[in-house]
Structure 1
Amino acid sequence: MLIDKYGRKINYMRISVTQRCNFRCLYCMPKIPFDWVPKENLLTFEEMFLFVKVAIDEGISKIRITGGEPLLRKDLDVFISMIHNYKKDIDLAITTNGYFLKDYAKDLKKAGLKRINVSLDTLDPKKAKMISQKEVLSNVLAGIEEAINLGFKVKINTVALKNLNDNELISLLEYAKSLNIQIRFIEFMENYHAYGKLQGLKSNEILEILKQKYKIISSRKAQNSPVTLYEINDYTFGIIDPHSHEFCDTCNRIRLSADGLLIPCLYYDESLSIKEAVKRKDLKAAVEILKEVLRNKPEKNKWSIVDNETSSRAFYQTGG
């Protein structure tokens, strides 16, 4: 069992398999060139899997594959299959922008993937193009439909932005409700790589918009999750508020980047590399690095310490 120095049980690992993305979303990486990281700088899936096995043996029971855009990495289904075959009951999920999902959903299902989160910030094709800087919406919606048809548990992630999609929050909720899937509205996470004029909606502002049509019946904090769940009639939606202390109180996560950095907190630059250890197949050393990272895991994120703190970490490197 993995326990940090604040007594939190760490059982969830997010793995960024690539920094590359085919979108250039305003809130993430709008000015980053469309480039690629040399293959030799990345861990191979075989090397990643060596560490994944160690992490599972030490107590990791939930893994989410992220990016960049994870479906850009070749043979992702093979990597997912490695993990699934090692531990059949592991909670195995992916977060994707959905653009290639229709093409790869069957392979992901066969490999053992259980859950998919898809980013969807608007139902307006022109607005989607403005946010992502690419014609994307029809592909994303087709990917969501395909994933549902194949029996995946699907959720939608929506970044709530002033003067961009604030007039669509009710429509997005109703779209998710019509598909019987959950939508989670996410507060904009300020970072140096985002378009500088963006303004996010706070959780209370999101709720005020939704209350224009719906009565919030109840709310509760999801167990071991940064999301607060709200009930309206027969439907549950969520809001993720990374600026609050509660975001950190039950944090059970560590992150592994595509180039081998093991990161204890999304909003800190401190990390340790497992790259050399796994390339040497020195699993004992990898375990010691894992335990050192847990010793370094902070109690609170920087936003909880300094108001309006902006993260210097690029979320496309760590998967958000």
Structure 2
Amino acid sequence: MQDNFGRQIEYLRLSVTDRCNLRCRYCMPESGILKKKHETILRNEEYLQIVETMATLGIKKVRITGGEPLVRRGLPSLIQEIKRIEGIKDISLTTNGILLESQVEELKEAGITRMNISVDSLVPESYQQLTRGGNLASVLRGIEKARELGLSPIKINVVLIKGFNDHEVEHFLNYFDPSIEVRFIELMPIGEAAAWNKDRFLNLNEFLLNRLDLTPEPNHGNGGPCRYYRHTETGRWVGIINAISDHFCLSCNRLRVTADGMLKTCLHSTTEVDLKPYLHDPDGLKNSIINAIHSKPEAHQLNQEDVVPILRNMYTIGG
């Protein structure tokens, strides 16, 4: 299905929980979160109903997100059922990797063939500081196990933060197996990061293209927000996501559904559509999704000085 600006909407990011086993400083308060009541979180059959409806409207790809999706019980069975839905061609996962080592085999058996793993530092002390307690070694073991099992592509997501991890760029490019893609992401003024974004923000085009020998590879990737390059020294794929300085809105093909059933057509918009009232009304559910797609904004306004920051934290949206 196309929106009003001719964009083909075919990609769904599905948040299966707002809970997380880390407390990353730009994402979640140190005290944690007020957990949503169990009955407000979508059940497996409700997720399946939403995905089935969206598949009839042209959704082909589903990415499982959180919070941290691996803390949700029974996730592999949900993945298996989504994989069976007619029209769904691809299902992937984004994780912080803390629980990956123990779950990756089951995830692969369920149908996950590729995944993104968030790693914002390769210095154990810095990683622990940013995540407020995360164990980097366990994440790296999980990544290596996923690679050994043949998951591909594996992509490492790195939010670059001025004065914190910007000196680690070359370390990231030299550390991982060459088959693994490294993607650098601009810090976004959402939730916890809204208060300190300007002090920590890096324009990644200016920072990385002046620092590294990179060759543009416009034909690599799947039409998403990431612009890919070949790193001359390592031969590695390097991705740059300029969500703020050079936004990707004109090619945005995605929808997001939060764990409590809210449909977002733009990550950076405050507009949400509650799908829960329509879960017993198939026509109403389909029409509400169609109307939301037709209302999808042309672009976000985060690069404007007077923009109101998004106060819903990233862990409730799924990135």
2 CA distance for matches of 1:305 and 1:4?
24
Q: Which moved more, 1:258-267 or 1:202-211?
A: 202-211
Counterpart selection for 2:214 from 213, 216, 221: 216
SS in 1 for 2:302: helix
Supply the AA of the counterpart residue of 1:238.
G
* TM, length-normalised to structure 2: 0.92
> Residues 135-154 of structure 1 correspond to what in structure 2 (within 5 A)?
135-153=134-152, 154=154
SS in 2 for 1:298: coil
Q: Does 1:240 align with 2:241?
A: yes
* TM, length-normalised to structure 1: 0.92
Q: Does 1:207 align with 2:208?
A: yes
Cα displacement string for residues 259-297 of structure 1 (whole angstroms, at most 9, x for unaligned residues): 11011100111111111211x2x2111100101111211
SS in 2 for 1:201: coil
Identity rate of aligned residues, in percent?
Answer: 36
Supply the AA of the counterpart residue of 1:259.
D
1 CA distance for matches of 2:95 and 2:132?
17
Deviation of the 1:45 alpha carbon? 0.9
2 CA distance for matches of 1:218 and 1:33?
40
Tell me the matched-pair count: 313
> Residues 113-124 of structure 1 correspond to what in structure 2 (within 5 A)?
113-124=112-123
1:101 is matched with which residue?
Answer: 100
Q: Does 1:283 align with 2:286?
A: no
1 CA distance for matches of 2:178 and 2:14?
28
1 CA distance for matches of 2:87 and 2:100?
23
1:251 is matched with which residue?
Answer: 252
2 CA distance for matches of 1:247 and 1:10?
14
Could you tell me which runs of 5 or more consecutive residues in structure 1 were left unpaired when the two chains were aligned. none
Q: Which moved more, 1:306-315 or 1:117-126?
A: 306-315
Supply the AA of the counterpart residue of 1:8.
R
1 CA distance for matches of 2:170 and 2:86?
39
Supply the AA of the counterpart residue of 2:297.
P
Preserved CA contact (<8 Å) 1:97 1:119: yes
2 CA distance for matches of 1:81 and 1:223?
23
SS in 2 for 1:77: helix
Deviation of the 1:131 alpha carbon? 0.3
2 CA distance for matches of 1:109 and 1:129?
28
2 CA distance for matches of 1:307 and 1:231?
36
1:159 is matched with which residue?
Answer: 159
Preserved CA contact (<8 Å) 1:267 1:313: no
1:184 is matched with which residue?
Answer: 183
Preserved CA contact (<8 Å) 1:29 1:193: yes
Cα displacement string for residues 151-197 of structure 1 (whole angstroms, at most 9, x for unaligned residues): 11211000001111111111011123x34210100000112423844
Preserved CA contact (<8 Å) 1:102 1:142: yes
Preserved CA contact (<8 Å) 2:3 2:296: yes
Change (3 A) 1:89 1:149: farther
Cα displacement string for residues 278-317 of structure 1 (whole angstroms, at most 9, x for unaligned residues): 1x2x211110010111121100112155577633232111
SS in 2 for 1:47: helix
Q: Does 1:267 align with 2:265?
A: no
1:292 is matched with which residue?
Answer: 291
Preserved CA contact (<8 Å) 1:30 1:195: no
Change (3 A) 1:245 1:135: closer
Supply the AA of the counterpart residue of 1:217.
T
SS in 1 for 2:63: strand
Supply the AA of the counterpart residue of 1:239.
I
1:46 is matched with which residue?
Answer: 45
2 CA distance for matches of 1:106 and 1:125?
26
Could you tell me which runs of 5 or more consecutive residues in structure 2 were left unpaired when the two chains were aligned. none
Change (3 A) 1:209 1:160: farther
Cα displacement string for residues 240-277 of structure 1 (whole angstroms, at most 9, x for unaligned residues): 00114541010000100111101110011111111121
SS in 2 for 1:74: coil
